[in-house]
Amino acid sequence: MNTTDIHHPGSHPGPVTADDLALGVGLAVALLRQPAALAADWGRAAGSLSWDCWETAEHLADDLFAYAAELGSPAAGGEPSPVPFVVVRQAEGKPRSAIFAERESGPEGLVRVLEACGALLVAMVRTAAPEARAFHVFGAADPAGSAAMGLVETLVHADDLARGLGLEWEPPADLCLRVLHRLFPEVPGGFDPWETLLWATGRGELPGLARRERWRWDSSVR
């Protein structure tokens, strides 16, 4: 078990980069393009979520698109507010989203939508000015923060999808470390980075710590 301590002096894992985000999205897309994934029932619940796998993948695509859009239209003075896209909730308890995939395209089409939205955010992180600030309710984010938000969404929702579709998923430890350092500065060190990220997002347990029922990250620039 890798128990790298993210709080140990000199152990700064570095910022989340566009390359990190591209890797994470690429791994998730490869996971969902496996024949076993494409042939699975996407109407099954995604892990512990109340959404099914199709809805969860659409939600992830929407997150990636939204973070790209916010970075592309940074708040400039006045009260920070999100870019005013029309968002739709198809039924009570379903995700609010501006991005949906044609059901007729099947899982392969859905994965293409996810891949395209991920590429948009990667491109925005690569090209945005360092001083750009993207709106988010958990704190206005710089490009590295936007990459971190996109990456945490990708890593944990890929886990939700893997559980729902009957697949194996564990992302690289260094990606998890950089996400934890950027978005969850309060989490304890000394545990496996992936297990810690699952705990930080209310999806797992760590020895001696209660499962998180409510959680949020801090995307503000520090």
At 1, the pLDDT band (50, 70, 90 cuts) reads: very low
What ranges do the domains of the chain cover? 18-73+84-200
Give me the pLDDT at residue 81, please: 86
Give me the pLDDT at residue 80, please: 73
Distance separating alpha carbons of residues 59 and 37, to the nearest angstrom: 18
Listed residue (115, 96, 112) closest to 104, CA to CA:
112
- Which tens digits make up the pLDDT trace of 158-208? 999 999 999 999 999 999 999 999 999 999 989 999 999 999 999 988 998
Residue 18 has pLDDT above 90, yes or no: yes
Residue 141 pairs in a beta bridge with 134
Architecture of domain 18-73+84-200: Up-down Bundle (1.20)
Distance separating alpha carbons of residues 57 and 101, to the nearest angstrom: 9
Copy the structure tokens of residue 106: 């099947």
Residue 97 DSSP code: E
- Which tens digits make up the pLDDT trace of 40-67? 999 999 999 999 999 999 999 999 999 9
pTM score above 0.95: no
